[in-house]
Structure 1
Amino acid sequence: MSVFALGLNHTTAPLDLRGRFAFTLEQIAPTLQGLRERLVPFGRSPAAEAAIISTCNRTELYCAAEPHLMRPALEWLAGVGGIGADALTHHAYVLQGSEAARHAFRVASGLDSMVLGEPQILGQMKQAVREADACGMLGSTLHQLFQRSFAVAKEVRTSTEIGAHSISMAAASVRLASQLFEDLRETQVLFVGAGEMIELAATHFAARSPAKIAVANRTLERGEKLAMRFGAEAMRLSDLPARLHEFDVIMSCTASSLPLIGLGAVERALKARRRRPMFMVDLAVPRDIEPEVAQLGDVYLYTVDDLSEIVQGAGEKRQAAVAQAEVIIETGVQSFVHWLDQRGTVPLIRALQAQTDDWRSTEIARAHKLLARGENVDAVLDALARGLTQKMLHGTLTELGSAAPAQREQLSETVSRLFLRGPEPRGAAFPLDENGEAL
């Protein structure tokens, strides 16, 4: 059993390619089932464990399976995104064993994010793990990997300054909007969507007391719930084209598979606004706003990738804490690898226990027969003990007797360490014949 991770993120793949591999929470379970069905013909052992983490910055597939399943898993993921395996390989990373664990721990701790130390990714990982567990794809190995990653992330948060003064995408958007509009208190702001990112963005903008806030969401009830928090207006998503011109600032982040705001709608809005500028932020992957909108003269459109320079600027101020966080992560990686190595001995341990149980049953059955015939109890017990010890030592003594001279010394040391307790015996560690040769 091996642990491996296949993924692409904001550093390896452009936004539109990441959009091909974006999954909503509702899509994760059926997608994982599809992976299981894909890997069944290749499996020589119990079904693979798997989990998918999908955010605006990354899509990652974590598996606990035999190493030979990495290539089929990569081909399956490429097929889901509608591209060739070679094309995906050009933009993806494939990590195995300790490297996969290190990556998972760094992601959970916010060290692999566009915003260094951002906390949202930890919640997204936990949600993804719950989805994998609910559909029966999370076994003991991945459970250990993710629980340890959460524990490491918690220690990084509490023991370092990695998350101090972090600038999120929402805060960066407010900063950019402030550069375009002289006073945000005179602006009208529209949020499209009602998820965690929009909620965070609304919190940042509401602190600047804009003239008006509105929330447009596919489900009106959920939009109303978020709008009430900020004294905002809730509107239906279907009303968006007709009312787009009312807003100076538009932030969108939904799970839609197609753009919600098209070029034509923005052109009409600009005409109604008499060319007054519009500030637009598209935090969705796939895009919520058609990319051609960025070509319009009075529109300032930013995507998650466009915001990277701003947030990285803030991240550089916290690089001193990264080294400390990496030490914590490395300790966690070594602990997980040790646990994983120990898991590799489980089949052998089970086989040994089964073998000794068989020997014990055989000797007890023989002892019962001797007692039933009226044999002396002490003699029966002695025969039982001798029978067990002979069975346990037979294979070892045979190996010692047949070992080549070059191997015998090392084998003797191993046998002594396994079987001999107390002071080192003066004689040989194994029986000798009359010529001094090992039996």
Structure 2
Amino acid sequence: MALFTLGLNHHTAPLAVREQVAFHVERVHQALGDLTRCKPVHEAAILSTCNRTEVYFATDVPEAATQWLLDYHHLARHELEPYLYTYPERDAVRHAFRVASGLDSMVLGEPQILGQMKEAVRLAEEAGTLGTTLHKLFQHSFAVAKEVRSTTAIGANIVSMAAAAVRLAERIFERIADQKILFIGAGEMIDLCARHFAAQHPKQLVVANRTVERGLVLADRFGGTAIKLEELGERLPQFDIVVSCTASPLPILGLGMVERAIKARRHRPMFMVDLAVPRDIEVEVGEMDDVFLYTIDDLAQVVESGLESRQAAVVDAEAIIAERVDVFLRWLATRGTVPVIRSLRDAAERARRHEVEHALKSLAKGEEPARVLEHFSHRLTNKFLHAPTQALTQADADRDQFQAIVSRLFHLHPESRVDE
């Protein structure tokens, strides 16, 4: 059974493709169960974010996971295969370490991916699909990420998606302080965006969320208010800036709703940022004259401005990862010997118990203890050495190789001999 990673990300697939294979949190348990029950996959974890969908799994038939992904999302092979990558063992381990360390992120060195990986592990544990191999892989990934972040400058001068959104808004509006802002959703990304926009002291800050109570908790921290999602159609015309990031499988803001809002605003411009995958705002909205709509891929171009200062740290980070990959693969290699070691110990224990019983019976008969002990040690030694001795005497073409293996196993030396 080998380790693999199957997936696509912002390097290999555009947003329109990524959103087709995104897994919503509430469906991950079902998906993992479906993968491990119906396919020859023994362990599995799903990492699904705005920038990537990846399946980490252990199997002897990697193609089974690819077919499952296509079937699960009802996609034809030609629609998805050009964007997919499948990494075998060493590459899969290296990839996991790079992802956890932020080296494979749209924002180089960003820390959010580590939390998202930990959430993927938690969901796999709950689903019962995180076995020993994947558990060890992710624990090593988290340790490597910690080492990279603490010993290199990979996280220095990060320009986040949230900061990029503010920069783009400043291109449209002279002063953010004069604008009214609506945040749709109350997750981690909206929290980050709210922090950056709130620092500009906007005229009004409102959070729209399916659960008003959760939205209110976020809004209170920034002196804002909260509304229900059902109120969007009525309230949308009031806002100059809209930032959305929910887990909705369907768009929340459709073309018709935005058209009505723009008309009510008398065609005053509206700046919109859609950070969700799948998208929260219909694509056609971006074609409107008075709407400036940006997706997560659009923001990546702004983010690149802070990249140069972190590139030097990549070399150091890659060196750390390469070393840690070797460590993990050595551990993985030993996993294959565990059944043999267990069988060897079981056989030795059976032989020991049998000889102890034989010795105890001899003592019960009144035989001399020293003689019983001597007899016991000879019988036990002969039992332990019988199999390797027989194998040595029966070896033919590979006799020299077999002798070398036995010498290594029992720490023998050329000068070793039995005194006559």
Contact 1:193 1:218 in 2 (8 A): yes
SS state at 1:354 partner: helix
Q: Does the alignment pair 1:114 with 2:106?
A: yes
Deviations 1:359-382 (A, max 9, x none): 112222222333334333223222
Contact 2:114 2:142 in 1 (8 A): yes
Deviations 1:156-205 (A, max 9, x none): 11111111110111110100111111111111111111111001001001
Contact 2:5 2:54 in 1 (8 A): yes
- CA change 1:361–1:248 in 2 (3 A) is same
Please name the residue that 2:279 is paired with. Answer: 287
Q: Does the alignment pair 1:178 with 2:170?
A: yes
Deviations 1:106-140 (A, max 9, x none): 11111100000111111111111111112222122
SS state at 1:7 partner: strand
Please name the residue that 1:101 is paired with. Answer: 93
Please name the residue that 2:155 is paired with. Answer: 163
Residue type of the alignment partner of 1:254: T
Counterpart of 2:406 (choices 415, 418, 422) is 415
- Structure 2: distance between partners of 1:415 and 1:243: 80
Q: Does the alignment pair 1:27 with 2:27?
A: yes
Q: After superposing the two structures, state which structure 1 stretch, 286-295 or 8-17, moved more.
A: 8-17
Counterpart of 1:54 (choices 48, 65, 81) is 48
SS state at 1:307 partner: helix
Q: After superposing the two structures, state which structure 1 stretch, 296-305 or 281-290, moved more.
A: 296-305
- Structure 1: distance between partners of 2:77 and 2:385: 53
Q: Does the alignment pair 1:334 with 2:323?
A: no
Please name the residue that 1:425 is paired with. Answer: 415
CA shift, 1:73, in A, is 1.7
- Structure 2: distance between partners of 1:420 and 1:277: 81
Contact 1:189 1:213 in 2 (8 A): yes
Where do 1:257-272 residues align within 5 Å? 257-272=249-264
SS state at 1:305 partner: helix
Residue type of the alignment partner of 1:297: D
- CA change 1:151–1:372 in 2 (3 A) is same
- Structure 2: distance between partners of 1:247 and 1:320: 42
SS state at 1:280 partner: strand
Residue type of the alignment partner of 2:377: A
Q: After superposing the two structures, state which structure 1 stretch, 229-238 or 344-353, moved more.
A: 229-238
- Structure 1: distance between partners of 2:51 and 2:119: 16
Q: After superposing the two structures, state which structure 1 stretch, 410-419 or 337-346, moved more.
A: 410-419
Please name the residue that 2:9 is paired with. Answer: 9
- Structure 1: distance between partners of 2:386 and 2:371: 22
Contact 1:216 1:235 in 2 (8 A): yes
Residue type of the alignment partner of 1:38: C
Runs of 4+ in 1 over 6 A off after TM superposition: none
TM-score with structure 2 length normalisation?
0.95
Please name the residue that 2:379 is paired with. Answer: 387
Contact 1:162 1:322 in 2 (8 A): yes
Contact 1:169 1:307 in 2 (8 A): yes
TM-score with structure 1 length normalisation?
0.91
- Structure 2: distance between partners of 1:349 and 1:230: 60
CA shift, 1:346, in A, is 0.5
- Structure 2: distance between partners of 1:409 and 1:212: 83
Q: After superposing the two structures, state which structure 1 stretch, 299-308 or 18-27, moved more.
A: 18-27
- CA change 1:363–1:87 in 2 (3 A) is farther
- Structure 1: distance between partners of 2:266 and 2:218: 31
Please name the residue that 1:362 is paired with. Answer: 354
Contact 1:79 1:85 in 2 (8 A): no
RMSD: 1.8
Where do 1:4-403 residues align within 5 Å? 4-39=4-39, 42=40, 48-64=42-58, 66-68=59-61, 70-403=62-395
Deviations 1:301-357 (A, max 9, x none): 111111222212322331100011111111221111111111111000100011111
Contact 2:97 2:144 in 1 (8 A): yes
Contact 1:170 1:201 in 2 (8 A): yes
- Structure 1: distance between partners of 2:24 and 2:36: 19
CA shift, 1:86, in A, is 4.9
Contact 1:22 1:285 in 2 (8 A): yes
- CA change 1:327–1:425 in 2 (3 A) is same
Contact 2:157 2:309 in 1 (8 A): no
Contact 2:286 2:293 in 1 (8 A): yes
